[in-house]
Structure 1
Amino acid sequence: MGVAIRRAGQDDRAAVTGLLDRVFQDDAVSGWVFPDPADRRARHGVMMGAFLDAALAEGYVDVAVDGSAAALWFSVPAGGHPADDNGPAELRQVVDPANERVETIGQILDAAHPKDRAHEHLMLIAVDGSARSQGRGTELITSVLARCDREGRAAYLEASSLRSRALYERLGFVWSGSTIDLPDGPQMWPMWRDPMPVHEA
């Protein structure tokens, strides 16, 4: 049952970028970064491609073999990655130099990200509209969470809606109790999951 999952590579870049662009085009956070719809249509895919490039280079990307879903992950060491104060500014230069919100959201998320313990960070997960409510996203996440449990490793993400927060809670994530509030924009819910005991069959 379910869909097979594989690790993505550079050959998947166009397809996965297109999936991320479609799925998040009307997301509230994307709408805050690109409030003008025409500007969003023009630049949003560039931002999704930049996120994907970072995950392919520094993390890993899992995809459903039928192309219907993808998840971008990063392995974060204790203490966090070496400080890169220019990261959000560099992203802005790549995506849209005139849009300061591209840089601002990077700074806000970096500041909120926990750095005291090693963990897997789910940066983005996308499921195509034609495959919604079929458990694709859950399968992508639980395949990594099972490894986290075996290795005694935590996981972290930022939920962008109350609906997704409820889904992540069912997978063992716990809301930190504080929201990430974008200026005059939507909220996000940082969530943490401690590894769960593995019971041998």
Structure 2
Amino acid sequence: MDLQILPLAVTMMAGPQIVAAVILVTTTRPVRVSSAFLLGVAVATAVGVAITRGIFALLGDAVSPGRPSDPGAAATIVQLVLVGLLVLIAVRNLVRRESVEPPKWLGSLMEAGPLRALTTGLMVILLMPSDIMVLLTVGANLEQHRAALTAALPFIGATVLIAALPLLVYLVFRHRARSAMPRLREWLNTHSWVVNIASCLLFIVLILAP
């Protein structure tokens, strides 16, 4: 797997995903609930990679991304389409920044238990369009290099590590984190458009990088 795939783990958790992780740290049982969330993220990411790797393996040469040294015309077209979509998403977030609101389900996480947190961890990975695009990219990369699923372990680990950052900050700083996390949660809620645009730009850079 290309090392340039690893930074896509940041995109995996950008947006509502990281906001959910922050919110769960502010619940009454932050460690237990956040741990369940991280388990969901890990399982969903691993399953997502396995599924996308299988899809590209089944389709084979029909949509082959080409050799590692020669991406080919099909891969170039896919990259350009993805870049175009990401630009549109970024512009849409910028234009609608005053009216962009976080999903209503995020607010309900304040009362979430371990089971709800686990389900949320699964859903924020498997149902988010941006994450689906990332998983397809990783699956295509694995097929392109004829790599085993174990080659995706660094990517899966990086995704879980980023998802765990709010919990790690809470465990390290405890009292300071208890007062800081709610403020961070509010900022992310009111500036979700910034996070969305930043993740789009990062993804564009990674796609266009040689």
When normalised by structure 1's length, the TM-score is: 0.27
Q: Name the structure where strand makes up a greater proportion of residues.
A: 1
Higher relative contact order (CA 8 A, sep 6+): 2
TM-score normalised over the length of structure 2 = 0.26
Comparing both structures, which one devotes a greater share of its residues to helix? 2
